[in-house]
Amino acid sequence: MNRSLMLKLSVFLPLLVATAVAPADDFVKLVQSCENCHGKDGNSTTPDVPIIAGFSHEGFLNTIDVFREGDRIALKFHKPGEPETVMNDIAKGLSDEQARNLADYFSQRGFKPPKQSVNTELARRGEVIHKRLCEKCHTDNGAHPVEDAAILAGQWTPYLRRQFDNFLSGKRMVPRTMLRRIKELSKDDIEALLNFYASKGMP
Query: pLDDT for 52-76, tens place per residue?
Result: 999 999 999 999 998 898 878 766 6
| Rounded Cα gap, residues 158 and 164, in angstroms | 10
Q: Phi-psi category of 170—alpha, beta or left, where left has phi over 0 and alpha has psi -120 to 50? A: left
CB 116 within 8 A of CB 157: yes
| The one-letter amino acid at 48 | D
pTM, 2 dp: 0.82
Q: Is the pLDDT of residue 185 over 80?
A: yes
Encode pLDDT of 11-20 as tens digits: 343 433 333 3
The Cα diameter of the chain in Å comes to 81
3-107 to CATH, choices 3.30.70.580, 3.40.50.150, 1.10.760.10, 3.40.50.300: 1.10.760.10
| Rounded Cα gap, residues 152 and 200, in angstroms | 9
Domain spans of the chain? Answer: 3-107, 120-199
When comparing pLDDT for 158 and 146, which is higher?
158
Give the burial class of 103: count Cβ atoms within 10 A of its Cβ; 0-12 exposed, 13-18 middle, 19 or more buried.
buried
CATH of span 120-199 = 1.10.760.10
When comparing pLDDT for 131 and 20, which is higher?
131
| Rounded Cα gap, residues 126 and 200, in angstroms | 11
Q: Is the pLDDT of residue 134 over 60?
A: yes
The answer to whether the 3-107 and 120-199 domains have the same CATH topology is yes
**Closest to 64 (Cα-Cα) out of 106, 108, 22:** 106
- Cβ atoms within 10 A of the Cβ of 128, count? 13
